[in-house]
Structure 1
């Protein structure tokens, strides 16, 4: 082999390693941002109370929907078009794609801001609480910053530079949470009305958006200077030159399917925001009471969302591998990985649901300082199983090339939730809304699992895994109840404050329950040593589990 060929192979290998490292950095930063964005709801309730918490959870889906409509798809289109120009060494073309993307996102962001700002009163009427209008307007401010940031992120990702986007995401979420907490503290100490406190919490989104944009502008300024120094003497015009109108058409064509698919997620959240407060409203109840109830209804959601996010992020990592296996026609590998992912989704979701139900009172007191509406908390916790399966099957279906099907399933779940809310909430209140969520998301999960099995040609050996899962969950439940009673007996003489005692009970129970569930699942053959070895780092894990006698002896 010639030296030039060897050099080309090394350069390609270096590019692949750099891309994988960058993708990992971006994935970790995205997961960190999502986790931080979910967890920040807990101090919001602790500082401001259930009514402000309810207003925040009612308003946020409106902002999320308009944000997704304004931004989803265009950054992906920018990334793809920049990558094409980069292959042609067209530096000026890359900059033109960025300018067009920023213009398009700037216009859609401004239009979304105007729609959200001027329609705040109308949206507040839909929610059923006039005090939400101020929070809606404050959320709209972020639409000046976040869309343009998306164009810059797409520009760098098209060049396979993931670090700028990762740093920007972390900065955006960190400043968002910090600004929210500062404004909460200021508002509470100054005696602001609760509607203004909620508006201050939503204003954190604008502060975070501004910080994320500033970080991206710093990276872009450095990159642009470097790119111009490398431009050719003719002004940097590469071979692929297109009119701005054609570029806009190409960008819109690439962005539209992604944008339409992305709105399914906020629509599901919007259903509760629009229907539950209005359906809760009895003739004599004040608006404050309704939003307080909606805040109580929302208590269990951050933990369920956290479980779903982690499972969804893990499943998303399988999508490239599934796509490659499908392209190669490796159906055996495709089916094996799909089946294993489905099993892990069921195990994670079921264990989380059982833990949230059995530890509901302790967790409620630990996070929110009282045990109000613990039954609702338990019912919301039950949706962890369906939510995890929905997140994982959506990622798996994308890996199998079925991009639109997960969107259709989510929209079906949203419509079913509307109908069930209308039937159950007037008679049963927020408990009825929780029951509606269990039914709607379970139906969607069943459809997702069936579609995934059909796409991958998987036939789950249900009897074996159902018996194994049932045994492991029963062992977990027994261990959890014993641990809770034992810990409570030990804490009795210490006379700890209720919240401290609840924290010890919840954390101890979660640790014991997770350990017992994993041990029982492994011991009864839920996953084999061969399947473990197929995972990254699985060989060493399988050997260690055998030494601990957690894998069956005949494996």
Structure 2
């Protein structure tokens, strides 16, 4: 029953994460439509900082708090207000206060570093988000230690809904009532604060309901608390920051490098806004590519390798196989239809070539996230953090080398190369630590190539037949794009199922399992 509770909780968090990521990626499309590429650029310049705060509050620090709570319970100690909640909160507050002061006191320097001094007030406001992390992280961690995943899931969705609604509201005001474009950056900070407060209120209501607090007296292990929160908390969150880390490098290097390429500052800002169009699509693709695979991981990370090696390896191989099929299909399909998708979502076809290169990041990031999650699940947390930092520095350096010569195409190539290196080294390390693992041998390459070719052929034929006739409305283009996406994806999945690309055991863990298994069984 405990195992089922863990798996169900993990699936609930995966579903909440998927909904949250869809909201997070989806709102950027109307944001760009309302404020243009310059307004989108302003928001994207502050988003990596806000995103890092979000990940720390949702994944990193709660994981560390949960670990502490589980250890205390295993020693027969209760979650006391004075021995657990107060000291852990004070440590979290100290860490986040340091982050707040660092960003706030260096806001002017950060703005100069990214090449836009108008962003200083935006960075100063964004710093305040970190002050709301301690309470939300503490409550989430306490709930998760008792396998209560609903508070985390509901607070995550509530946080995103309020944040997204506020940002779109401000974008509408800027577009139709003459607001300043730099108000978008300030709105991002305010929206994140509103979202954090919403999450804390939801968590507080659950706290009143469950009351996960008892009276107990024992010596406070301050060193253990601090060490776990600093090391485990930050390292655990890095795996959720891979795309944020890449964006962080772009924030500081892309505009200055584009100016070396020969663009004026305003042109460079607009070009970065165009380049950033690809990020929500990559985010969505990576979520689809890794979420179903990560849903299988709780079944392996809690097992003892020595006691059930065969099952352990089978689940890992299934995770990687799922990730490959879904991410590869999304990557190939999006590359083919990107001109139409760009026109539909962003109202013009600027940057299509660069964004087609960038889309390859969907496959690479999905495989890297899956492999790194498995490595973390079997205990290699510090090593995975080193790999991610390595990808960050590689992206930083490659931007400065490639962008002055190739513009945003160079930045797209830098992203693909850095994520490619991260993917290769993660898979290599996974194979080294688990020598019996058969990487990608479960992939039916013939079936995959057939499915991909059929999907591409369908999309190309539709492009030749339909796209060259002029669409007179965005609604007509929307209907067309959604239709070819649905049919193309259906063809791809049906061929994979009919070609026995998945086992029935794998399909049984997914939504609509009965329908998928029926397709799988047909000759």
- The TM-score with structure 2 as length reference comes to 0.89
> Which of 74, 90, 101 is residue 88 of structure 2 equivalent to?
101
Q: How big is the shift at 1:435?
A: 1.3
Q: How big is the shift at 1:173?
A: 1.1
Task: List aligned pairs for 1:406-421, cutoff 5 A.
Answer: 406-421=384-399
> Which of 22, 38, 44 is residue 35 of structure 1 equivalent to?
22
Q: Distance in 2 between matches of 1:74 and 1:518?
A: 38
Q: 1:122 to 1:68 in 2, by over 3 A?
A: farther
Preserved contact between residue 312 and residue 388 of structure 1 (Cα < 8 Å): yes
Preserved contact between residue 320 and residue 440 of structure 2 (Cα < 8 Å): no
> Is 1:197–2:181 an aligned residue pair?
no
Q: How big is the shift at 1:118?
A: 2.0
Q: Distance in 1 between matches of 2:83 and 2:384?
A: 34
Alignment correspondent of 1:458: 437
Q: How big is the shift at 1:331?
A: 2.1
Q: 1:284 to 1:335 in 2, by over 3 A?
A: closer
> Which of 493, 496, 499 is residue 521 of structure 1 equivalent to?
496
> Is 1:250–2:224 an aligned residue pair?
yes
> Is 1:278–2:279 an aligned residue pair?
no
Task: List aligned pairs for 1:127-526, cutoff 5 A.
Answer: 127-224=114-211, 236=215, 238=216, 240-243=217-220, 246=221, 248-261=222-235, 262-263=237-238, 265=242, 266-282=244-260, 285-456=263-434, 457-460=436-439, 465-488=444-467, 492=469, 496-526=471-501
163-172 or 62-71, which moves further after superposition?
A: 62-71
Q: 1:90 to 1:410 in 2, by over 3 A?
A: closer
169-178 or 497-506, which moves further after superposition?
A: 497-506
Q: Kindly name which structure, 1 or 2, has the bigger radius of gyration based on alpha carbons.
A: 1
33-42 or 394-403, which moves further after superposition?
A: 394-403
Q: Distance in 2 between matches of 1:293 and 1:471?
A: 37
Q: Distance in 1 between matches of 2:262 and 2:331?
A: 36
Preserved contact between residue 285 and residue 331 of structure 2 (Cα < 8 Å): no
Q: 1:85 to 1:324 in 2, by over 3 A?
A: closer
Q: How big is the shift at 1:540?
A: 4.5
- The TM-score with structure 1 as length reference comes to 0.84
Q: How big is the shift at 1:415?
A: 2.1
Q: 1:530 to 1:148 in 2, by over 3 A?
A: closer
Q: How big is the shift at 1:340?
A: 2.5
Q: 3-state DSSP class of the match of 1:131?
A: helix
Q: Distance in 2 between matches of 1:41 and 1:378?
A: 19
Number of aligned residues: 518
Q: 1:118 to 1:390 in 2, by over 3 A?
A: same
Q: How big is the shift at 1:470?
A: 2.5
Preserved contact between residue 71 and residue 259 of structure 1 (Cα < 8 Å): no
Q: What whole-Å deviation, never above 9, does each CA across 1:475-531 have from its counterpart, x for those lacking one?
A: 211111123334448xx5xx743423332332122112212222333444534x566
Q: 1:530 to 1:43 in 2, by over 3 A?
A: closer
Q: 1:309 to 1:533 in 2, by over 3 A?
A: closer
Q: 1:72 to 1:541 in 2, by over 3 A?
A: closer
Q: How big is the shift at 1:385?
A: 1.3
> Is 1:61–2:48 an aligned residue pair?
yes
Q: 1:404 to 1:347 in 2, by over 3 A?
A: same
Q: What whole-Å deviation, never above 9, does each CA across 1:28-49 have from its counterpart, x for those lacking one?
A: 2233222212222112111111
Preserved contact between residue 74 and residue 252 of structure 1 (Cα < 8 Å): no
Q: How big is the shift at 1:156?
A: 2.1
Q: What whole-Å deviation, never above 9, does each CA across 1:229-274 have from its counterpart, x for those lacking one?
A: xx6xxxx3x3x5114xx3x322112222224423463433211111
Preserved contact between residue 282 and residue 361 of structure 2 (Cα < 8 Å): yes
Structure 2 segments unaligned to the other structure (5+ residues): none
Preserved contact between residue 136 and residue 200 of structure 2 (Cα < 8 Å): yes
Preserved contact between residue 10 and residue 298 of structure 2 (Cα < 8 Å): no
Preserved contact between residue 40 and residue 177 of structure 1 (Cα < 8 Å): yes
20-29 or 424-433, which moves further after superposition?
A: 20-29
Preserved contact between residue 447 and residue 496 of structure 2 (Cα < 8 Å): yes
Instruction: Please provide the CA RMSD for this pair.
Output: 3.0
Preserved contact between residue 304 and residue 384 of structure 1 (Cα < 8 Å): yes
Structure 1 segments unaligned to the other structure (5+ residues): 1-12, 550-555
Q: Distance in 2 between matches of 1:410 and 1:53?
A: 26
Q: How big is the shift at 1:177?
A: 0.8
Preserved contact between residue 155 and residue 203 of structure 2 (Cα < 8 Å): yes
Q: Distance in 2 between matches of 1:537 and 1:112?
A: 40
Q: How big is the shift at 1:16?
A: 5.7
Preserved contact between residue 339 and residue 460 of structure 1 (Cα < 8 Å): yes
